[in-house]
Amino acid sequence: MLGRISWISIGIALAIAVLFPPLSGMSFHVLNVAIIMLIFILFSSAWNFLAYSGQASLGHAAFFGIGGYISTILARSAGYASFATILVGGCVAAFVGFLLGLTCVRLKEWFLAMVTFGFAVILQVVVATTLSETTGGWDGMISPRLIPISVDNYLVIEYYVILAATIVSIVAIYLIIRSRAGLAFAAIRENEVEAQAAGINPVSWKLIAFTISSFLAGISGALMVHHIGFISPEVFSAENSFWPVIYSIFGGLGTISGPIIGTTILTIVWDGLKELGLTYERFIIIGLLLIIVVIFLPRGLVSLPEKIRERRAQRKKE
Amino acid sequence: MALDVGVLLQVLFWGLYAGCIYILLATGLTLIFGVMKIVNFAHGELLMLGAYITATVFALTGINPYSIILLTMLILGVIGIAIERSSFRPILGTGKLNEIFISLGLIYVIQNAAALIWGDERQVLTSPYQTITIPLGPIQMPVDYLIIIMVTGLILVGLTLLLKKTSLGKAIRATSQNRKGAQIVGIDVERMDMITFGIGAGIAGAAGTLWVVSGQVFSPYIGSIPAIKAFAIIILGGLGSIPGAIIGGLIYGIAENGAAYFLGGAWKDAISFLILIVVLIFRPTGLFGESGE
């Protein structure tokens, strides 16, 4: 299953993640960036899990936002955010994902991309206008903090809570992918007709993947809004749909470590470029990186060591 | 709210006019799809570049902005060829997800390059014919709308003539129908890819000119949504079908303006996707699509 090198790198990554707050000198800004990064690791992993079954969504912000809105509305009436509100947010996102999935699982790549993208656009309008009495319309509304600001070191506690949620979710994804279900997903992704011939029902398996992925996206959205303390229809923006795609491709499509590595490195690059005072150039650089990775490193950064080894072997032969 | 003919006619003409932009985008997309079997989701960024190039040339020379359309098309054609060669050719045949990802990268690069060059403020250009209207029954129709509808018609006629009457057009159609067959009879299919992409980009550039000249607000971010709608249109109209793109474009233009008028402006974008999703629930391969390929 996992080689020794993998275990060592997982151990190092975990150690860094756990020791990060004291190492960062408890800086408010750095912790904030790290928390948002963790949430996006979870969100990207949810997107990437769907891609593992061969489905690429361009509208995952829809589920991210549903999780955020449901949890916020519940938390506002209860007076505080809790695991229960976040879980309900995730479950509602999963249910909506299931309903949308009923249509999506029969669609081919671009059609699926279009429907998911369009769904997020429609949802944004519905939440901002039709449901404005409950959602606060375009102005949005305050979302109770995950950990109230009055608590000592609330940001550090928030960091550990979100770290735990992210780790649990990634382990769950890992276990699913390693199970028989994972084999079914991979078979469908590689060749749907052959998978069907082998007795796998592509429609129901793809629907399961869609539901699980929506659930996790909903959880990450709920964590995000309770961290920021605010939610508005902007949560459904295309930007929020595209980031998990970019992070996952950059790290490695269809791998567990891909979204983790992709999100971490791009967050560092993104923040570093911001420190340099770049604005539009940041987006240009990210866009170029994306194009370069898709053309030259289609399996993402995780395949880089392998690629270098291949190159070396080739050179030796010559 | 009483429905009177004047309002309906107004909505219809807005729709026709908005439909022109969609038709031009969708025609280019569907042409490229026919030949290369790829979808460039960044197609709308070419419209946006066309808009800025027209506005810039107009600001520099002050000539009639409509006359800049040919120059814009030419520049965009060259840009299109550059994009095809640099970004899409390397990933041809490597899986359909890759073209979505490449498009995403292109959207970020082109939008922000435009913002870097021209700034990201929203701008407007005033047409020289802004004040001229033609009485049409109970409404006053701006002459700009009429010009735009005519120019769109001209471009479509020109494209049809090119495809049907010239040997280049025949080669493009042959590649579109059967890539291997075309290769066997000696057509340089990669050259056809390049030319088709250039033509599609040029038409998107023309749409950009019409966009600014008609006094619509423009910014680096105007292109994405129209392009995605244009793709929705070609899904409905049948991938690779130009008549389908024209009919779909008209339907979308009118449906959207109807929705904006009757349901409120926020529904303008949502209605297009609602139509798309409803159609795909019942026909997963589109209205006229056979295999979905």
Over the stretch B214-244, which tens digit does the pLDDT of each residue have?
A: 888 899 999 888 888 888 888 888 787 888 8
Which pLDDT does position B2 carry in this prediction? Answer: 53
Which pLDDT does position A120 carry in this prediction? Answer: 93
Distance from the A194 Cα atom to the nearest Cα atom in chain B, whole angstroms: 18
The three-state secondary structure class of A230 is strand
Selected residue with higher pLDDT from B212 and B239:
B212
Which pLDDT does position B293 carry in this prediction? Answer: 39
Contact B273 A121 (CB under 8 A): yes
Instruction: Kindly tell me if the per-residue pLDDT of B292 is higher than 60.
Output: no
Instruction: Kindly tell me if the per-residue pLDDT of B291 is higher than 50.
Output: no
Cβ neighbours, 10 Å, residue A87: 16
Which pLDDT does position A59 carry in this prediction? Answer: 93
Using 50 as the pLDDT threshold, list the residues of chain A that sit under it.
none
Position B124 confidence tier, pLDDT thresholds 50, 70, 90: confident
- Average pLDDT, integer, range B6-28: 87
Selected residue with higher pLDDT from B277 and B58:
B58
The Cα A28–Cα B111 span in angstroms is 32
Position B107 confidence tier, pLDDT thresholds 50, 70, 90: very high
Which pLDDT does position A258 carry in this prediction? Answer: 92
Q: Which of B151-160, B189-198, B276-285 has the lowest mean pLDDT?
A: B276-285
B64 part of contact set with chain A, CB < 8 Å: no
Instruction: Kindly tell me if the per-residue pLDDT of B41 is higher than 80.
Output: yes
Q: How many CB pairs under 8 A join A and B?
A: 123
Instruction: Kindly tell me if the per-residue pLDDT of B184 is higher than 60.
Output: yes
Delineate the domains of chain B, giving CATH numbers in brackets.
5-282 (1.10.3470)
Distance from the B106 Cα atom to the nearest Cα atom in chain A, whole angstroms: 6
Contact A125 B269 (CB under 8 A): yes
Nearest to B116 among A129, A280, A286 (CB): A280
Burial class (CB in 10 A: 0-12, 13-18, 19+), B51: buried
Burial class (CB in 10 A: 0-12, 13-18, 19+), B291: exposed
Mutate to test the interface with B, among A52, A125, A129, A240 (most CBs of B within 10 A): A125
Burial class (CB in 10 A: 0-12, 13-18, 19+), A239: exposed
